[in-house]
Amino acid sequence: MNNCRHGNGHWGHGHHHGRKPEYVVALAGNANVGKSVTFNQLTGIDQEIGNWPGKTVERAEGLLQYRGLRIRVIDLPGIYSISALSTEEQISREFIAHDHPDVVVNIVDASALERNLFFTLQLMELKSPLILAVNQMDLAAKKGISLDFHQLSRELGVPVIPLVAIQGKGIVELTDAIIAAVCSPPEPREITYGKEVEERIGRIIGLLPEGVGGYPPRWTAIKLLEGDRDTVWEVKKLSPDTVARITAVRTELETIHGEPGATILSGERYHASEQIVSRVMTHRSAGETRLSVTEWIDKIALHPVLGYLLLTVMLGGLLVWTFIVGAWISATLTALLSHIAPVEPLITGSLGEIIFNGAWTGLVAALTLIIPYVIPFFLLLALIEDSGFLTRFSLMLDRGMHKMGLHGKAIIPLVLGFGCTVPACMSCRIIESPKQKLLAAFLVTLIPCSARTIVILGVVAAFVNIWWALALYLLDFILIIILGRLAFRVLPGESVGMIMEMPEYHAPNPSIVLGQTWQRTRSLIGIVLPSYIIGSIVITAAFAAGLLEPINTLLSPITVLLLGLPIMTGVVFVFGIIRKEMTILALATLFGTTVFSTVLTPVQLIVFALVTMLYVPCISTIVVLAQEFGWKQALGITVVETGLAIALGAVAFRVLSLFM
């Protein structure tokens, strides 16, 4: 095996890493086929999750060390096609076609081979050095499905490895196959499609100018026949005349079939896939009358009454956690940590003290956010995602979300938002269309997060009454619906209806759930911790440097004239940018009392809470928005919400003063 390092041909692909060459293996396949489990099995715990440059799709990367070889394993997003309609598809396509991994392991679900092979055929068109890993063999066997792997391997011309990844079965064989493939890359057979299509592929290959994109000519020809925009553009660059001739060939085919080229090719691939499956699969129906576990659970989870009940219990549980358990953990943690050093913002003292206070307050703020709100929420998200419940919840809520221009999946970020806005914004990744993703993130920043809840409860419920606190909540929800509908009209881009696969339920896999929770938490810490600590130091230092008065004066036209608040609140709002509940601490420090009703009138208390609820999302939110969507969008949302807060605050002050 080790001779392979001195082997031939593929040195160009291997990256030199110290003495040993490093190879790259990509895992590709549909969603829900057990890609992540296989990835974990191959790489053990040595993995890192990262974002693709400039884009926001999660990918995992790990190292497989075996027989002296170092192999980088990359887990590509789960996709159904490489027609480049979605970001995930585009990324996978670029990676496979352009970065030339040494081996592509295509993981397929044994029970749904026909659909899975559709994707395999596209990888074969790309002439990827392919290994087919047929996973979930145990489940397929239970359904009475058996497969002839030798025949399948002959049909495709690539190694085929049966797997039960969750039990680790077949992983050794897969690893051996990967190593062997690194040495001598498998060459997939050319699968021929229907005569009408093949004849035109041949004609287009004949027309192709030299050196188009460096892809296999057959792939390029097929893409041109599909009218793929990127490929057409590449050919146009080289020779505009050829494009016209190729388009004529495509139109000819489209006229015969009365369908767009891409649909014709999809039909051809599915036809080829059906043929292959019919030759390799035998299916004896074993007691199909018995309801499967999935159907049983679906009877409850998708029931018009029970389903919503289940949903209410889950969402209710999350809210109870946020308001009671989370709040308690947060308060206890703050109390414990304040024994070590005070966590109120310090505005007088030596520079060292102030910097330390800033850093410490920031650290405490981060910890009291991550431990009670982020980790449990991410854990629950991973649990319902991995078990299969997430798709059912999305299905049940799809209709309601339509009212705000979103679809079912958006319920996840919106609910997470009650805990903390930052992870909620990150979870908007599960929504496909960029427009709906941004819209969901915008609405999430308006959801009253735990910090805003603390302000509303601590200022309004405590010193005015609970009804005004509830009224503020109600106002917020009305605003979310109105702004959602408005933003939906204003934002550019198309909104995509939901099409998703409904996986079968299974017991969540602890290593996947914990791994995903940890990876998400880790990338969140990377944002929250520095923004809190640095932001906190900067603001406290600014005050220590005597900027307190100037800031108050600068903001006084807004705070005093528009909102009718005391001039001191200018600084309080600036503190709130770090974290909203800091406004309460700052208010207490500056006024020297915790009984706010002695320094502010009821109207002022309500206006103060209203503005705090709506203005600038906290600094971590701004950073995470910038990371996910870009600075322009992040600042846009900030400006809109601040403007809204001031406008509504000013109106509230004037209206409420009339009768309070």
Partner 1 sequence: MASEQLEEYLESILDIEEKNGIAKTSAIAKCLKVAPASVTEALQVLSEKGFVNYEPYKGATLTDQGREMARKVKRRHRLLEVFLTDVLHINEENVHDEACKMEHTLSDETECALCKLLKAPARCPHGSLIEACNRKVDSCSACLAESESLSSCTRDEPLIPVTTLAPGQKGTIAFIRGDNSVVQRLTDLGLTLKTEIQLMRKAPLHGPVEIAVRKTRLAIDHEIADHIFVTARKEKCG
**What residues line the site for partner 1 (CB under 8 A)?**
80-81, 83, 85, 111-115, 118, 254-255, 257-260, 262-263, 266-267, 270, 298, 302, 304, 307-308, 391, 394-396, 398-400, 407-408, 497-502
**DSSP bridge partners of 255:** none
- State the minimum distance, in angstroms, from the CB of residue 98 to partner 1: 21
Closer CB to partner 1, 122 or 453, in the complex: 122
- State the minimum distance, in angstroms, from the CB of residue 267 to partner 1: 5
Closer CB to partner 1, 72 or 409, in the complex: 409
> Which of 404, 562, 427 has its CA nearest to residue 486?
404
- State the minimum distance, in angstroms, from the CB of residue 104 to partner 1: 19
- State the minimum distance, in angstroms, from the CB of residue 601 to partner 1: 45
Closer CB to partner 1, 407 or 520, in the complex: 407
Closer CB to partner 1, 13 or 407, in the complex: 407
Burial of 329 (0-12, 13-18, 19+ CB in 10 A): middle
Closer CB to partner 1, 200 or 407, in the complex: 407
Question: In whole angstroms, what is the distance from residue 129 CA to residue 276 CA?
Answer: 20
Closer CB to partner 1, 83 or 627, in the complex: 83
Say what angle helices 582-591 and 569-576 make with each other, to 10 degrees: 150
Question: In whole angstroms, what is the distance from residue 558 CA to residue 562 CA?
Answer: 5
Contact 525, 366 (CB under 8 A): yes
> Which of 635, 622, 646 has its CA nearest to residue 569?
646
Question: In whole angstroms, what is the distance from residue 405 CA to residue 411 CA?
Answer: 12
Question: In whole angstroms, what is the distance from residue 504 CA to residue 444 CA?
Answer: 30
Say what angle helices 35-43 and 171-183 make with each other, to 10 degrees: 80
- State the minimum distance, in angstroms, from the CB of residue 329 to partner 1: 36
- State the minimum distance, in angstroms, from the CB of residue 610 to partner 1: 33
Residue whose tokens read 């609910």: 415
- State the minimum distance, in angstroms, from the CB of residue 274 to partner 1: 9
Query: According to the 3-state scheme, what is the secondary structure of 93-133?
Result: HHHHHHCCCCEEEEEEEHHHHHHHHHHHHHHHHCCCCEEEE
Closer CB to partner 1, 49 or 314, in the complex: 314
Question: In whole angstroms, what is the distance from residue 166 CA to residue 363 CA?
Answer: 39
Query: According to the 3-state scheme, what is the secondary structure of 399-448?
Result: HHHHCCCCCHHHHHHHHHHHHCHHHHHHHHHHCCCHHHHHHHHHHHCCCC
Closer CB to partner 1, 119 or 608, in the complex: 119
- State the minimum distance, in angstroms, from the CB of residue 129 to partner 1: 24
What is the three-class DSSP state of 74?
A: strand
Closer CB to partner 1, 22 or 254, in the complex: 254
- State the minimum distance, in angstroms, from the CB of residue 317 to partner 1: 22
